[in-house]
Amino acid sequence: MKKPVKSWLIASTAAALLAAPAISTANSDLERLTKNPANWATWGGDYAGTRYSTLSQINTSNVKNLQPAWTFSTGVLRGHEGGPLVVDGVIYIHTPFPNTVYALDQKTQSVIWEFTPKQDADVTIPVMCCDTVNRGLAYGNGKIFLQQSDTVLTALDAKTGKRVWSVQNGDPKLGMTNTNAPLVVKNLVITGISGGEFGVRGFLAAYDINNGSLVWKGYSMGPDEDTLINPNKTTTWENGKVTKVGANSSLKTWEGDQWKIGGGTTWGWFSYDPDLNLVYYGSGNPSTWNPVQRPGDNKWSMSLWARDADTGEVKWVYQMTPHDEWDYDGINETVLVDQKIGGKMRKTIVHFDRNGFGYTLDRVTGELLVAEKFDKAVNWASHVDMHTGRPVVVDEYSTEFHGEDENTTDICPAALGSKNQQPVSYSPQTGYFYISGNHVCMDYEPFEVEYTAGQPYVGATLSMFPAGRDVMTGKKNGSTNLGVFTAWDATTGKIVWSNDEPFSVWSGSVATAGGLVFYGTLEGYLKAVDAKTGKELYRFKTPSGIIGNVSTWEYNGKQYVGVLSGVGGWAGIGMAAGLEGDTEGLGAVGAYRSLSSFTKLGGTLTVFALPGN
């Protein structure tokens, strides 16, 4: 017999409070570090995930003089996502599998320590979707936290690199892996899980920072006691208002026990509001990719979440793509900023989804404020109905409308989205968000697939190609660019400016008080553009394609910019894994075949600075 939800939530809350220290603020050590622009102490630069730096030594006037100061080879050839952390003068970088961590001395550019975990490659690598990437490290209370590919979460002493503790977060034999960067909040280390293409049921988990014990765990789908949804408190946006979700809101949207292998994994980025004590993130696609096999809205896959940091209880949840038919994973980062919308200052959360819509919601209540297309090619839905909160799907591009074993053509965006995991940046100087994007469409043919634990559970064949059209006019324009870098106004849902790129922009950007935005390209260029106009002011070709996120920091009074290059990831999976068929790599290989003419494999940290002492 199941425990009543109310009593269960009370019990879990009490347990979490007993485990937590008597503080009500974020991790004080990490807060101190993020307030000093000399550091880059978390994936987004701060808890809000803005990826903004107040440093201005490098600016629009002198960035043309920027030079590479030094480089460091990681020794690994697969895709290098994520980026360096800089904490009190020490640089910490990571690699894709085997997930080696390096602590680097900036004065001598030498290795202080390195750590390579023991992992079973034969078990782990075969169940890693879309390359063997890792999106970065976390820091807190003198420890570096590594989320290993084999799901082991490891705490390392930041000074020595010695392992302090480790805990198993999942089971690779069931298709579970990890690629996300953890987030340190208070006395907790928060992490997710990967494996939606293997029928893994997604969750967010919080572990004690001191010993690795599990404090809470909230699933993306299932009964309320699994999702940590309180039907009397948890809300969603529905029928033009913030509404309580009601009992077992997830179970009602799945057929039978399909939710047990339902996907909704959590391999993206996590943000935190210390004042509200809420953790924000997105959940991914439902399993399988064949929509015919899973009737219903499939809640709460493809959703934005706000959870209480202490207990995991859900404050609000909003589903962006009900009953996903295109693999529009909802895991992209959530940026927390205060903005004036409709003449009123709002605490907002801004999210650019794979589905091609940019969302602005009230982060206190979950009220939907803005939902507009941020790429001109998006055609699978005409718009988001602001009353229902649901996208209005165009039958021509509905894979379920056409049915199993039927090829639905010219869907925009492709499954890798108008933007994938590469995080945006935000500048309070301009009020704009800067989006590293894709301009890619696809053909999509679903087919029936059976679930077997630890085996692929995809059920669709894809091919991808440049968008080549402007849906605003309905005309094909013959363009061949696969990427675009865009400035966006999240208060109005309008594109301010955009720059086409030959290949997808798979690098996270950083905005600075110097009036600049830095990002990397798949061919390997680090670029700097004017934050107001988008005018390119600087470029430098690094040793390999960039899918890493740019960071900036200060050392001995001098500003530096650093980025990991090393082509791979979903867009570069053909090169990284040696795949050749056009539909291999879940459809990406054919679209990016020519990339090998511009760059080659190899992981390198490149650090840039202005000349002089």
Number of H helices, E strands in the chain: 7, 42
- Alpha helices by DSSP H, listed for 309-353, are none
Distance, first Cα to last Cα, the chain: 70
Measured in residues, the chain has a length of 613
Q: What letter represents residue 413's amino acid? A: P
Side-by-side strand order, sheet with 271-273: 241-244, 235-238, 314-319, 303-308, 278-282, 271-273
Question: What beta strand segments (E) does 398-531 contain?
Answer: 408-411, 425-427, 432-438, 440-446, 460-466, 469-470, 475-476, 483-489, 494-501, 510-512, 516-520, 525-530
Q: Cα dihedral sign for 163, 166, 170, 171?
A: positive
Tokens 């309905």 sit at which residue?
Answer: 474
Residue 507, CA distances (Å) to 270, 421, 434, 546 in order: 18, 9, 11, 6
* β partners of residue 71: 606
- Kindly state the helix (H) or strand (E) to which residue 402 belongs, with its residue range: helix 399-402
- Contacts with 14 (C-beta within 8 Å, 6 or more apart), sequence order: none
Beta pairing class for 516-520 and 525-530: antiparallel
Tokens 């990681």 sit at which residue?
Answer: 74
Long-range CB contact pairs, 115-119, < 8 A, 24+ = 115/146, 115/156, 115/161, 115/163, 117/146, 117/148, 117/150, 117/152, 117/154, 117/166, 119/148, 119/149, 119/150, 119/152
Structure tokens at 413: 């965006």
Which of 396, 467, 442, 455 lies closest to 570 in space, CA to CA? 442
Euclidean distance between CA atoms 238 and 235, whole angstroms:
9
Radius of gyration for the alpha carbons in the chain, expressed in angstroms and rounded: 22
- Alpha helices by DSSP H, listed for 133-280, are 224-227
CA contacts within 13 A on the Cβ side of 475: 3
CA contacts within 13 A on the Cβ side of 142: 7
Q: What is the DSSP string of 509-531?
A: -EEETTSEEEEE-TTSEEEEEET
Contact assessment for residue 414 and residue 438, using Cβ atoms and an 8 Å cutoff = yes
| 211 class by beta-carbon count within 10 Å (0-12 exposed, 13-18 middle, 19+ buried) | exposed
Catalytic residue status for 327: yes
- Contacts with 22 (C-beta within 8 Å, 6 or more apart), sequence order: none
Tokens 């650019």 sit at which residue?
Answer: 352
Euclidean distance between CA atoms 441 and 409, whole angstroms:
9
Euclidean distance between CA atoms 562 and 558, whole angstroms:
13
| Annotated catalytic residue, options 327, 329, 362, 489 | 327
What residues are labeled active site?
327
